[in-house]
Amino acid sequence: MSYAQVYSQWQQDPEGFWLSAAGGIDWVKKPTKALSADRAPLYEWFTDATVNTCWNAVDRHVVAGRGKQPAIIHDSPVTGTKHVITYAELQDRVARLAGALKAKGVTKGDRVIIYMPMVPEALEAMLACGRIGAIHSVVFGGFAAHELAVRIDDCTPKAIIAASCGIEPSRVVHYKPLLDAAIEQATHKPDFCVIFQREQEVAKLVPGRDVAWHEFQYGVTPADCEPVEGNHPAYILYTSGTTGAPKGVVRPTAGHLVALNWTMRAIYNCGAGDVFWAASDVGWVVGHSYICYAPLIAGCTTIVYEGKPVGTPDAAAFWRVIGEHKVRSFFTAPTALRAIKRDDPEGKLVPKLPTLQALFLAGERADPDTIQWAQRHLNVPVIDHWWQTETGYAIAANPFGIEHLPVKIGSPSVPMPGYDVQVLDEGGHPVSPGTLGAIAVKLPLPPGTLPTLWNAEDRFRKSYLDHFPGYYETGDAGYIDADGYLYIMARTDDVINVAGHRLSTGAMEEVLASHKDVAECAVIGVADDLKGQSPLGFLCLNKGSNRPHDEVVKECVQLVRDQIGPVADFKRAVVVDRLPKTRSGKILRGTMVKIADGQPWKMPATIDDPVILDEITTALQSLGLAKA
Ligand code: COA
Ligand code: AMP
């Protein structure tokens, strides 16, 4: 069938389409209906089914006779180790960990925070939670203690599973002191913490609260897979919104299984026995969906890579992994390829990669130079696809496993079944092809997408549903061309994308505003050749503050690193007298971005005092920005 036929099949009978896709999953109790719409515009899928995620990702492959197949390959250039875990071993390890959690009182619906680097134990912890119906929330290792504390207070975990350390090329990341500080800061206290001690750093355990990974599991009865209802939350993943408080995206169990399983063939063209690699981190949605769940649900071998695209040891690292482990489909962020291209512009380090069938890019806009470089040197289709933490898988893609459609560089191609994507004007009316507007998806969203935000249904409605009734507001702006190809141009909110990481400028502003000398501030994302965007702060100091500006800037940079974490990559700020505002007091961030990036801009009609923009331009020029 062609893409057009598959999409039209879904349009004609959405529920039939997803019930048929549900055939790829092992159910304890099969769903008799797909969609529950009684609380519209809040929707749920497969609510009358019961199922277990871990069974589908692990046990069923052992039962099917593939116990000896590698499930996980850990390839860790930062520690100089490689390690294979078969499906049978994975089943054993996960069942034991789940048994240990159960023995300590973790039961269905309890939350468990996972704070770990790129080690197989992170996936095992996720799967062990799924095995007993506990809801995990993985926190990315590049976040500081404060961000971890915020998540602890929001999802109130019974347990936290953490590693003693992570390894960045330049340093050891001391997870345990960050964890201790986070628990100290948080109001909610977990009952216990399980610490995976790595040989690079053995952490000091808090007696009575912390228990070491192996000791924790010693002598326990392995746990069986416990059935949960289709709409039971599999996990909560926090993502950046407009304010400092992260949004807890809820992932429903059954829809997640059905949809991810469908994407593995339709989009990535992979099935049981194939090696699939997403070079991301388990702390992000790409890591949840395509390092852990989807490849395992489909019976593939997944690679857990603990390294960087460059510097571990060089720009050939990705190609070594692909060649050595015979990767069939490879997924990464454009920023990683830009880093490789910068070190190897001629592609001299790219060998022949006979097993590789396609490269998939997502997480940020894929710029044409990067796509063309990859096409030229890898000699395989390069497929940009667009998605969000909220959806958990691609909204738009080139469905490589169904039909490789003509590529239009700059476009993540066409909507996937399940998504009726429309571009709307401010009044909520669809615009004509080629016209820029807010990108929205007609409700209901397909299975696996967020049904709500954790403990925050009002915020869910306000953030996504209220602005355009009947639609899910994506927060992205763009257009659809006459052939139905989608183009994602910018965010409509204050979210920026730094090195494929989604960050909130609002959160950074909250931190800067807490500095004693800062009266007012703004953070914008300026264009960056490597990272796509880079955050930049504007600081207005309190009257009477006579501190040297560079001292305040240095303290502010440190403050963001301490409060949000190194991942914010906040390294630049500048002191200005005033911020440009509209007469109603709204800061003109968009205009500042255009000036910083040297793009054409118009004097906003509503500006309070145009002279301020001259001051801003001068400040930006002092940083080497705002070049015409
Ligand atoms: N734990 C702790 N710290 C981390 C971390 C982690 N898991 N990941 C990143 N950091 C730190 C880095 O060490 C760096 O710290 P520094 O300021 O002390 O140097 C900071 O966070 C910023 O990291 P990063 O944005 O990764 O920049 P970089 O210069 O180290 O590397 C790239 C640049 C392009 C190589 C890197 O960003 C990259 O590989 N990006 C791909 C991202 C990706 O896969 N995203 C997933 C979406 S699909
Ligand atoms: P995250 O939730 O971290 O996955 O980030 C989602 C956001 O990243 C989207 O809303 C987009 O702004 C951006 N994004 C993801 N994929 C793409 C893509 N292929 N092209 C353009 N922007 C993208």
Q: Which tokens sit at 152?
A: 């602890």
Residue of minimum CA distance from atom 46 in ligand 1: 280
Q: What is the pLDDT of residue 297?
A: 98
452 CA → ligand 1 middle, Å? 29
Ligand nearest 391 Cα, by number?
2
The rounded radius of gyration (Å) of the Cα atoms in the chain is: 24
Ligand nearest 503 Cα, by number?
2
Calculate the average pLDDT of the chain. 97
509 CA → ligand 2 middle, Å? 22
Domain boundaries, the chain: 87-226, 495-621
| CB-neighbour burial class of residue 523 (10 A; exposed 0-12, middle 13-18, buried 19+) | buried
In this prediction the pTM is 0.96
Residue 258 contacts residue 264 (beta carbons within 8 Å): no
- For ligand 1, say whether the CB of 173 is within 6 Å of any of its atoms: yes
Reported as a single tens digit per residue, the pLDDT across 11-67 is: 999 999 999 999 999 999 999 999 999 999 999 999 999 999 999 999 999 999 999
Q: What is the pLDDT of residue 479?
A: 97
Task: Please report, rounded to a whole number, the percentage of residues in the chain having pLDDT higher than 90.
Answer: 95
| CATH class of the domain comprising 87-226 | alpha beta
Nearest one of 29, 45, 49, 38 to 418, comparing CA atoms:
45
440 CA → ligand 2 middle, Å? 14
Q: What is the pLDDT of residue 591?
A: 94
Place of tokens 């095995």: 131
Is residue 628 predicted with pLDDT exceeding 80?
no
Reported as a single tens digit per residue, the pLDDT across 368-390 is: 999 999 999 999 999 999 999 99
From 76, 168, 386, mutation site for ligand 1 pocket: most ligand atoms within 8 A of C-beta: 168
- Give the residues surrounding ligand 2 with Cβ less than 6 Å away: 239, 285, 362-366, 384-389, 412, 475-476, 488, 491, 497, 502
Of the pLDDT bands very low, low, confident and very high (cuts 50, 70, 90), residue 627 is confident
From 247, 387, 493, mutation site for ligand 2 pocket: most ligand atoms within 8 A of C-beta: 387
- For ligand 1, say whether the CB of 284 is within 6 Å of any of its atoms: yes
Q: What is the pLDDT of residue 610?
A: 87
Using omega within 30 degrees of 0 as the cis cutoff, is the peptide bond preceding 41 cis? yes
Residue 364 CB partners (closer than 8 Å, separation 6+): 333, 334, 335, 497, 500, 532
- For ligand 1, say whether the CB of 569 is within 6 Å of any of its atoms: yes
Nearest one of 199, 194, 235, 205 to 97, comparing CA atoms:
194
Atom index in ligand 1 nearest the CA of residue 286 equals 48
Q: What is the pLDDT of residue 497?
A: 94
Q: Which fold has domain 495-621?
A: GMP Synthetase; Chain A, domain 3 (3.30.300)
Separation of alpha carbons 166 and 247, rounded Å: 25
Ligand nearest 389 Cα, by number?
2
Ligand nearest 533 Cα, by number?
1
Residue 212 CB partners (closer than 8 Å, separation 6+): 194, 195, 197, 205
Reported as a single tens digit per residue, the pLDDT across 432-464 is: 999 999 999 999 999 999 999 999 999 999 999
- For ligand 1, say whether the CB of 287 is within 6 Å of any of its atoms: no
Q: What is the pLDDT of residue 108?
A: 98
